[in-house]
A = this chain, B = another copy of it.
Amino acid sequence: MEVFPDDPAAILDRLIALADTGAADLILTTGGTGIGPRDSTPEATTQACHKLLPGIAELMREEGRKKTPRAVLSRAVAGVRGRTIIVNLPGSPRGAVESFDAIADLLPHALQVLGGARHD
């Protein structure tokens, strides 16, 4: 686990390095997904990813809304860089756990596909 400043360039560099060195199959970020001026994790993640997974973001917002209406405002994204999946979670510990729970069941299959299995 690492802690980073709200600096999109630093976040982007770190995401790319973690993915491209094969150091991580799954990168979970927390925080920086709101609408404030310093919230830029989704932008860095979008830039880092070769492919976005909009359904993951939709599902996290949809499940989050069952707990708090403000989950609608989350700009969290998820995507793929090479064989690495990157998922943004919100900054509050409870919100991060809830978002992760919403998508956890999908990750084994997704990681397996990226690991080499064929998938249409």
Contacts and interface: CB of A to CB of B under 8 A. Distances in A.
A74 B57 contact: no
Interface in A42-75: 42-43, 51-59, 61, 69-75
A88 to B, nearest CB: 11
Interface residues of A, number: 42
* Copies of this chain, tallied across the complex: 3
A35 interface: yes
A12 to B, nearest CB: 16
Which 5 pairs, one residue from A and one from B, show the smallest C-beta to C-beta distance? Answer: A91-B120, A55-B72, A34-B119, A55-B61, A31-B120
Interface of A: 31-37, 39, 42-43, 51-59, 61, 69-75, 80, 90-92, 103, 105-106, 109-110, 113-114, 117-120
Given A35-B53, A54-B54, 4 more contacts: A39-B51, A56-B73, A70-B106, A92-B120
